[in-house]
């Protein structure tokens, strides 16, 4: 049993029954899962949640599948760590880092995939698929292996080698496409016509897939003692995660876990080499002009983001901002987080930390705010981004004299 009432179109509000469909037949607007909050609230008391296992499935009443029998590698409930040393560097007050680099396959994508593939399996789908910038393919391959489903995942051919290997190891089919993410995504949508039995998690299951990101809000609120932060900084690729973090905080008020509708300011982070959402924000526009990506932050390289316009709306309506940073700033962001907090993030996390620094310097993120920075992936999959400078401080022969010579000079 779930508390899903049905689906509704985000643009025109028309209602639909639960199905593997992502857009409205009338206006092509994206569909959104709707819950019976009144009923869900009876299964969402702090005590009930605390008694459940430490995974994202502890919040099942607000997810579109049952916890019982979920395809669960243990995604969710990652640490929320107080980042005082980073805060001091940036001139901030109460700063927290949500470390989703510690997910089973090293990125927040495990949240959305665990949810989407559980729904897909319950609908009878046998083939798990996705269009990915790298981390999603990694997570789909892993969860499909656990579920005994076959998988076919599509990535741009220039994705980081570590992401290819970490995906291939699970034994599914990995297709590298000569093109960027937007080519990959279009190809998957076309292939779905010939293979209607595929569960392409971010295409025909997108409405369910995206629901998994709400748990990034649920966990932060629980880890803060059922309180909302004042300001969060979130990376943007398609923009889905950012909009769902917003939905998540709102739903906690709906089920009575937050006293009143929280006013969480939501800010977004993009790499300069792929910043169509930041550009629309800066121009005061609701039109996202597609770009061709060129950035070291490959996991954020979506030139034509499906939820870009909704991300802009959320940021504007909550009083946040969207900034972008250069490849050099991204690498500096990775190093800054590592040397102040001992957390090694991937390029997407470098984008978020660098944007946080920029917004703090500009006074947009303030020292009197309780701030959460969402770090969404591990650095071990993008080590090459650090360049040759990240190597041994010294290389010496195995002798005491050789070491002492270093000290003398
Ligand atoms: C996919 C991804 C994102 C962005 O997610 P969207 O929901 O598409 O905006 C952020 N960080 C990492 C590490 C990712 O893999
Ligand atoms: Zn519609």
Considering every ligand atom, which ligand is closest to the CA of 7?
2
Considering every ligand atom, which ligand is closest to the CA of 12?
2
pLDDT for position 390: 87
pLDDT for position 405: 93
| Mean pLDDT computed over 116-126 | 94
| Mean pLDDT computed over 105-112 | 98
Q: pLDDT tens digit string along 373-396?
A: 999 999 999 999 998 878 899 999
pLDDT for position 322: 98
Is 69 inside a domain boundary? no
For ligand 2, the distance from its centroid to the CA atom of residue 238, given in whole angstroms, is: 20
Band the pLDDT of 243: cuts 50, 70, 90. Answer: very high
Print the domain residue range for 101.
82-106+211-386
Q: pLDDT tens digit string along 129-158?
A: 999 999 999 999 999 999 999 999 999 999
Contact 281, 302 (CB under 8 A): no
Max mean pLDDT range (16-20, 145-149, 194-198): 145-149
With 80 as the cut, is the pLDDT of residue 401 above it?
A: yes
Q: Is residue 318 packed enough to be buried (19+ CB in 10 Å), middle (13-18) or exposed (0-12)?
A: middle
Measured over the CA atoms of residue 116, residue 216, residue 291 and residue 296, the dihedral's sign is: negative
For ligand 1, the distance from its centroid to the CA atom of residue 363, given in whole angstroms, is: 26
Residue owning the nearest CA to atom 1 of ligand 1: 299
Cβ-based neighbour number of residue 8 at 10 Å? 18
Q: pLDDT tens digit string along 262-277?
A: 899 999 999 999 999 9
pLDDT for position 137: 98
CA 55/CA 93 separation, integer angstroms:
29
Is 77 inside a domain boundary? no
CA 271/CA 94 separation, integer angstroms:
25
For ligand 2, the distance from its centroid to the CA atom of residue 243, given in whole angstroms, is: 18
CA 150/CA 157 separation, integer angstroms:
21
With 90 as the cut, is the pLDDT of residue 346 above it?
A: yes
**For the chain, what is the domain count?**
1
CA 361/CA 228 separation, integer angstroms:
23
Is 156 inside a domain boundary? no
pLDDT for position 79: 98
Cβ-based neighbour number of residue 39 at 10 Å? 14
Say whether pTM exceeds 0.75.
Answer: yes
The helix or strand, by DSSP H or E, that contains position 228, with its residue range, turns out to be none
pLDDT for position 20: 66
| Mean pLDDT computed over 11-39 | 89
Rg for the chain, CA atoms, rounded: 21
Is 17 inside a domain boundary? no
Q: Which atom of ligand 1 is nearest to the CA of 305?
A: 8
Pairing of strands 80-82, 94-99: antiparallel
Is 335 inside a domain boundary? yes
Band the pLDDT of 307: cuts 50, 70, 90. Answer: very high
C-alpha separations of 346 from 67, 188, 231, 350 in Å: 30, 26, 22, 6
Is 362 inside a domain boundary? yes
Nearest-5° angle of CA 217, CA 218, CA 219? Answer: 95
Is 118 inside a domain boundary? no
With 90 as the cut, is the pLDDT of residue 408 above it?
A: no
For ligand 1, the distance from its centroid to the CA atom of residue 210, given in whole angstroms, is: 11
Nearest-5° angle of CA 215, CA 272, CA 351? Answer: 40
The enclosing domain of 352 has a CATH number of 3.40.50.1100
In 3-state terms, what secondary structure has residue 145? helix
Cβ-based neighbour number of residue 148 at 10 Å? 9
CA 330/CA 353 separation, integer angstroms:
8
pLDDT for position 3: 96
As a residue count, the chain comes to: 409
Is 271 inside a domain boundary? yes
């Amino acid at each position: 049993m779930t508390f899903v009432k049905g689906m509704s179109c985000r643009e025109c509000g028309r209602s639909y029954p639960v199905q593997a469909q992502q857009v409205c037949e009338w206006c092509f607007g994206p569909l959104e899962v709707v819950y019976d909050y009144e009923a869900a609230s009876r299964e969402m008391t702090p005590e009930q949640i605390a008694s459940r296992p430490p995974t994202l499935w502890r919040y099942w009443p607000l997810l579109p599948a049952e916890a019982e029998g979920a395809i669960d590698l243990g995604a969710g409930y990652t640490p929320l760590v107080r980042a005082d040393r980073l805060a001091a560097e940036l001139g901030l007050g109460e700063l927290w880092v949500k470390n989703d680099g510690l997910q089973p396959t090293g990125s927040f994508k495990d949240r959305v995939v665990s949810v989407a593939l559980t729904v897909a399996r319950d609908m009878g789908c046998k083939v798990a698929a996705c269009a990915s910038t790298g981390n999603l393919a990694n997570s789909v391959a892993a969860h499909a292996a656990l579920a005994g489903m076959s998988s076919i995942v599509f990535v741009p051919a220039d994705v980081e080698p570590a992401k290819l290997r970490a995906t291939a190891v699970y034994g599914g089919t990995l297709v590298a496409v000569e093109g960027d993410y937007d080519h990959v995504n279009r190809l998957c949508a076309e292939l779905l016509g010939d293979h209607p039995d595929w569960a392409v998690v971010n295409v025909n299951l997108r409405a369910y897939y995206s629901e998994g990101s709400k748990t990034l809000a649920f966990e932060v609120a629980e880890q803060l003692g059922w309180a909302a932060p004042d300001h969060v900084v979130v990376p943007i690729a398609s923009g889905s995660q950012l909009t769902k973090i917003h939905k998540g905080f709102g739903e906690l008020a709906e089920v009575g876990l937050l006293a009143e509708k929280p006013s969480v300011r939501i800010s977004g982070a993009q790499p300069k080499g792929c910043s169509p959402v930041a550009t629309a924000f800066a121009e005061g526009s609701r039109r996202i002009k597609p770009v061709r990506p060129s950035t070291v932050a490959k996991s954020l390289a979506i030139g034509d983001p499906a939820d870009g316009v909704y991300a802009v709306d959320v940021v504007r309506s909550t009083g946040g901002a969207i900034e972008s940073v250069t490849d050099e700033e991204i690498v500096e962001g990775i190093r800054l987080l590592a040397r102040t907090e001992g957390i090694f993030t991937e390029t997407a996390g470098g984008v978020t930390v660098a944007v946080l620094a920029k917004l703090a310097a500009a006074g947009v993120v303030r020292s009197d705010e309780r701030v959460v920075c969402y770090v969404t992936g591990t650095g071990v999959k993008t080590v090459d981004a650090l360049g040759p400078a990240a190597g041994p401080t010294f290389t010496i022969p195995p002798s005491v004299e050789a070491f002492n010579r270093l000290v003398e000079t």
